[in-house]
């Protein structure tokens, strides 16, 4: 039998206790509770005592020979969970968490869903509650096309939009394995929904045009993009081909086919861009503004890093921890904005509903987080002590990287929307003739393989962009 302590003597903690008592095959022996509510400390709940407060956790683990801690406070702030995790790690005991509020709303509060603590549990972002009725009406009888559907944002867009039962979801990506995996998952989750899965490249105008003519989508969520800064610094022509020319293809075709709404998924790196990836995303936003019309509303949604996306720092750190370290960070001062993938997508959907055309929506990312702090949290989540079990080393800033990111530039004036976590801005519009000239010039440069001219041409369109790689 394993000695278990439950943190939280509220409804969730009591439910966990009941399920443990009803499942002797789990071989768990509940020793008691701890709780931050002074009125509960000392109480007996279903025969088990509330032994103390959070500050007593270390002493109780030692005195009661606790082997596992279950954190059963679904609405707890990240800093509280972080404190419990730190104590458990240093005491070398296991820890799990009852799913957070969003998961409970979705009916997943049972003991079988008690899971390992994830990094997003520790970062303190309040849970976003979806406005289900509004979004259900927004997607009713609509055909939705998602580009980059197999990626981190695209696949979560698929999951969330599918739950609102649109007329059809058209899921497009060039990544064969990703589409294969997505199809397997989403058909099992929503067997009665209408899906179409398409392998195509957004740079292929004729193919994309035929897809729009065949499926006639009402809304487009454009999530397809190259996103890795160092790689796009090395291959700027590929960033332009995909993020600019591919986006221009899609936008033109959407306008021609009278799509109602076209949502461009953008990035904080588009604000004051110093790297090619960020610059190409800013230009994609500009394309949307240039083509915005009464018939087709183009809307951009900009946000920072999402946790645990494909190729993200979270996945890199996890692999480095699995290998015994060290964790590598470019600069000790480095900070980034982070948001969970489900939260970001929920806000994208709300922005799509709010948008009337031509807006730049900026998601409230909370406070920036030090990358070294994120690394330390992940080390503790894996049951290790930072600096002792797993070392952290610094390798130096890479080409195109900023120490700190911003979500908007000094010329972009943000105003609140009725949705508290979404701001709206009218960002600087590109001169239409200059933008069209840039697009044509990029096609010529790429066709003649004069890729050394790419940065210079971006600088001609965005004067603040450095013409030489740093």
> For the domain 2-117, what is the CATH code?
3.40.50.720
Token readout for 215 is 């499926």
Dig out the tokens for 65 from the structure.
Answer: 């020979």
Q: Measured on CA atoms in the order 290, 294, 295, 299, is the torsion positive or negative?
A: positive
Beta strands in 103-176 (DSSP E): 115-116, 143-147, 168-173
Look at residues 313, 469, 302 and name the one whose alpha carbon lies nearest to residue 398: 469
Q: Which fold has domain 132-425?
A: Rossmann fold (3.40.50)
Residue 256 among the catalytic residues: no
Sequence-separated (6 or more) residues with CB below 8 Å from residue 357:
292, 293, 294, 296, 297, 298, 299
Successive 10-residue mean pLDDT values, the chain, 470 residues: 92 87 88 92 93 93 94 78 89 83 52 69 59 88 97 93 94 96 92 96 97 98 94 94 97 97 93 92 95 96 77 83 91 83 86 92 81 88 87 85 69 68 77 94 87 91 85
Asked whether 218 and 143 are in contact (CB, 8 A), the reply is: yes
Helices (H), 236-334: 236-239, 247-256, 276-291, 313-322
Task: To the nearest 10°, report the CA torsion of 179, 180, 186, 190.
Answer: 120
**Residue corresponding to tokens 């980034």:** 336
Helix H segments across 123-167? 132-139, 152-162
pLDDT at 124 (0 to 100): 57
- Please measure the distance between the N-terminal and C-terminal CA atoms of the chain and give it in whole angstroms: 59
The pTM (predicted TM-score) of the whole model is 0.76
Write the CA distances from 157 to 101, 174, 257, integer angstroms.
20, 17, 22
**SS3 state of residue 138:** helix
The predicted pLDDT at position 97 comes to 85
Domains of the chain, residue spans = 2-117, 132-425
Spatial distance between the Cα atoms of 126 and 29, rounded to a whole number of angstroms: 32
Spatial CA neighbour of 135 closest among 357, 297, 359, 353: 353
Nearest of 38, 101, 42 to residue 72 by alpha carbon: 101
Token readout for 454 is: 């790419």
Q: Note whether 401 and 275 are within 8 A (CB).
A: yes
Q: Which residues contact 450 (CB under 8 A, 6 or more apart)?
A: none
Tell me, letter by letter, the H, E, C secondary structure of 295-361: CCEEEEEEECEECCCCCCHHHHHHHHHHCCCCEEECCCCCEECEECHHHHHHHHHHHHHHCCCCCEE
Q: Which residues, in sequence order, are CB contacts of 285 under 8 Å at separation 6+?
A: 264, 266, 270, 300, 302, 360, 427
**The pLDDT value given to residue 460:** 93
3-state SS class at 393: strand
Burial of 2 (0-12, 13-18, 19+ CB in 10 A): exposed
Catalytic residue among 143, 269, 350, 421: 269
Q: Which three-class secondary structure state does DSSP give residue 410? A: coil
Helix axis angle for 432-447 and 276-291, nearest 10°, is: 130
Assess whether the region 2-117 and the region 132-425 belong to the same CATH fold: yes
Please choose, from the candidates 148, 186, 188, 150, the residue with its C-alpha nearest in 3D space to the C-alpha of residue 168: 186
Contacts of residue 21, Cβ cutoff 8 Å, sequence gap at least 6: 30, 46
Residue 286, both tokens: 């500009």
The crossing angle, in degrees rounded to 10, of helices 78-91 and 371-381 is 50
Distance CA 438, CA 442 (A): 6
> Is the separation of the CB atoms in 262 and 220 below 8 Å?
yes
Phi-psi region of 184 (alpha: psi -120 to 50; beta: other; left: phi over 0): alpha
Read off the DSSP letter of residue 128. Answer: P
> 115: how many CB neighbours lie within 10 A of its CB?
13
**Comparing C-alpha atoms, which of 170, 253, 159, 171 is closest to residue 217?**
170
Q: Are 216 and 143 in contact (CB under 8 A)?
A: yes
SS3 34: strand
- Kindly state the helix (H) or strand (E) to which residue 15 belongs, with its residue range: helix 11-21
Dist CA 349 CA 339 (whole Å): 15
């Amino acid at each position: 039998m394993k000695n278990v302590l439950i943190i939280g003597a509220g409804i969730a903690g009591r439910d966990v206790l009941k399920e443990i008592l009803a499942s002797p095959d789990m071989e768990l022996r509940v020793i008691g509770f701890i709780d931050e509510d002074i009125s509960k400390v000392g109480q007996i709940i279903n025969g088990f005592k509330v032994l103390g407060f959070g500050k007593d956790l270390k002493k109780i683990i030692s005195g009661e020979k606790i082997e596992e801690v279950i954190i059963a406070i679904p609405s707890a702030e990240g800093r509280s969970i972080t404190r419990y995790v730190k104590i458990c790690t240093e005491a070398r005991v296991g820890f799990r968490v009852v799913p957070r509020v969003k998961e409970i709303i979705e009916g997943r509060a049972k003991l079988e869903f008690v899971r390992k603590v994830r990094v997003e549990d520790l970062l303190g972002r309040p849970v976003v509650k979806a406005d289900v009725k509004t979004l259900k009406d927004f997607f009713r009888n609509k055909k939705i096309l998602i580009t980059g559907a197999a990626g981190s944002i695209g696949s979560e867009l698929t999951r969330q939009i599918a739950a609102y039962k649109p007329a059809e979801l058209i899921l497009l990506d060039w990544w064969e394995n990703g589409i294969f995996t997505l199809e397997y998952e989403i058909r099992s989750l929503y067997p009665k929904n209408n899906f179409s899965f398409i392998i195509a490249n957004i740079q292929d105008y004729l193919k994309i045009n035929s897809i729009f003519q065949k499926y006639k989508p009402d809304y487009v969520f454009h999530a397809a993009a190259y996103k890795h800064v160092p790689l796009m610094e090395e291959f700027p022509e590929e960033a332009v081909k995909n993020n600019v020319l591919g986006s221009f293809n899609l936008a033109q075709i959407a306008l021609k086919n009278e799509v109602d709404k076209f949502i461009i998924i953008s990035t904080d790196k588009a604000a004051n861009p110093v790297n090619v990836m960020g610059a190409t995303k800013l230009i994609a936003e500009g394309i949307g503004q240039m083509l915005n019309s009464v018939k087709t509303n183009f809307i951009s949604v900009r946000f920072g890093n999402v946790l645990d996306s494909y190729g993200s720092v979270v996945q890199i750190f996890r692999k480095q921890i699995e290998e015994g370290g060290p964790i590598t960070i470019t600069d000790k001062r480095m900070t980034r904005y982070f948001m969970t993938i489900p939260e970001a997508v929920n806000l994208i959907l709300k922005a799509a509903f709010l948008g009337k055309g031509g807006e730049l929506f900026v998601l409230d990312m909370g406070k920036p987080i030090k990358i070294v702090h994120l690394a330390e949290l992940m080390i503790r989540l894996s049951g290790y002590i930072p600096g002792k079990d797993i070392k952290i080393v610094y390798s130096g800033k890479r080409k195109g990287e900023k120490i700190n990111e911003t979500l908007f530039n000094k010329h972009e004036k943000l105003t609140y929307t009725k949705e508290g976590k979404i701001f709206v801005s009218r960002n600087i519009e590109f001169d239409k003739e200059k933008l069209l000239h840039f697009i044509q010039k990029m096609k010529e440069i790429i066709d003649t393989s004069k890729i050394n001219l790419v940065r210079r041409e971006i600088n001609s369109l965005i004067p603040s962009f450095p013409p030489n790689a740093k």
